[in-house]
A and B are shown apart, each in its own frame.
Chain A
Amino acid sequence: MIEVENVYFTYPNGVKALKGVSLKIADGEFVAIMGQNGAGKTTLVKHFNGLLKPTKGRVLIDGVDTRQVSVAKLSRKVGFVFQNPDHQLFSETVEDEISFALKNFRFDEKIIRERVDWALNLLDLVQYRKVSPFMLSGGERKRVALASVLAWDPKIIILDEPTLGQDSYQKERLRQFIIQMNQQGKTVIIVTHDIEFVVECEPRVILMANGRIIADGETREILTDPELINRSSLILPEITQVFTNLNDLGFPRNVIGVYEAKRLILERINGRT
């Protein structure tokens, strides 16, 4: 359970990144945080594992104030996968990279080996076990970074721009993977610009602009609202654009899914004949 209570955050250089954010994320929820560059998305999620501490207000993780515990301790519960894998890969082999955090958290040798095997399997990296992470492609490096966080099995998983630089096959795998984790009871929070990806996942959507939350609700409700979409510098999902244009033919505007769109169109065609 993440509770954000009226949080303000100002960077040392004077930039006010968060201006009174309140939010509750229950266990097992799947949340997408969206908004334009500089809206405060990454700043907000960096509060969840204590990397940043609020200037005013407070953040509670399972009832514990983030100011009272170390980042290392919070990270045990809250796994954070950074946007750019190159900011964290440093080991000689993929295997060492994944075990780095496990060693930091002082897991047993035996458990470390099990967890590394598990994570390698999970992200389809077994063949790279002994390979240097620097030899891998961009998408593979991203998966290694993801594996290195999932390995310690955090309860809450934060993914910053997970779809960046991934081809559509990897994106689809990532989507299934996120949904699977979520079904296993993990809280998943993604920060993203990729509206089509969010539409396919249908999580709870939180829109941010200018350091504030401007909307919070169901994917369908938030991402089909032209006014809100505009305020956060996004573009309506493609299906919604089509249905907005078909509105004068009597189609609803708030359609986001491909299958739903197909059904509506087929119903109309069959209704006519």
Chain B
Amino acid sequence: MSIFDGLKFRNISSPIHRIDPRAKFIYVCVLFVIAVLFNQLIPLLILLFSQIPLVIIAKVKREWLRLIRGSIFFATLIFVMNVISLYFYGNYPSVAYIIEYSLAMTVRFIVLIESFSLFFLTTSPDMLGLSLEQIGVPYEFCFAFTTAIRFVPVLAEEAQTIIDAQRARGLELESGNFIRRVKNYIPILIPLIVNAIRRSLELAEAMESRAWGASEKRTNIYVLKMGKKDYLFILLSLAMLLASIYVWMYIKIPFLTQILQI
């Protein structure tokens, strides 16, 4: 299992899975906005932990945790970059403040990742395409979108084969300095991209020979309908957004360093 499984749809039945993709999308957008509104550690931490009940209800804890663990590298990078840039270029009251601020930025990143993950873990690509179509996105784009998602596992498998083939020719991915290591990936990326292009051309031909796009107006077997629960979910999300905006405008959230006087 790779960390990318944290972004792959898990086909299980749960209340979260059954929520209309559009409603879930609004929820994720709300989370994004809130995460960007605040740059204090406390509200971001609340946001971080408030996802956990949803993840547990959706029964996707394992995959979700794996993605978060996988994002630790970038999270650390963000933390370190923030600390360095603030230390040298920012004006700051104390080192503790720098650390808190950098931590807050890191938590913001994880919040973005985790809400993304929750959305993709509980929404099937087909439903996603369908909801795009029903908001009025042209079918060609919806199809391209769902196909792209569907080909991710195929590409991942192919990448593994290519890595094996090049290692069998003496390529050592983990050797050398930074530039050398980036260069090491060229023999893997080129076949991967060339094959992807080749495959997409083949796919296009295969689709055309099966009369893709023959009828102007196509119908779907499934039609998404928003239910009471979905509207309620949207309402709750919007309420969350309004409450956050209110807090952001009228209540001054203290930094931890201010509370603790360090």
Contact = CB atoms under 8 A, between A and B. Distances in A.
Contacts of A168: none
A148 interface: yes
Given A82-B164, A86-B198, A70 B187 contact: no
B158 interface: yes
Contact of A71 (B158, B167, B186): B167
Contacts of A80: 165, 168
Contact of A87 (B165, B171, B172, B186): B165
Contacts, number: 63
- Majority-rule SS of B interface residues: helix
A71 B195 contact: no
Given A12-B1, A87-B158, A90-B187, A148 B169 contact: yes
A75 B167 contact: yes
A51 B168 contact: yes
Most chain B beta carbons < 10 A, residue from A12, A79, A101: A101
B169 A134 contact: no
A257 B243 CA distance: 84
Nearest to A12: B1
Interface string B161-195: 11011111111100000000000001100110011
A177 interface: no
Given A88-B191, A90-B191, A100-B187, A82 B171 contact: no
A149 B169 contact: yes
B195 A86 contact: yes
Given A72-B170, A86-B195, A148-B169, 10 more contacts: A51-B167, A71-B167, A87-B158, A87-B162, A88-B162, A88-B165, A90-B187, A90-B190, A100-B187, A101-B169
Listed from nearest, the 3 A-B pairs whose CB atoms lie closest are: A104-B170, A90-B190, A101-B169
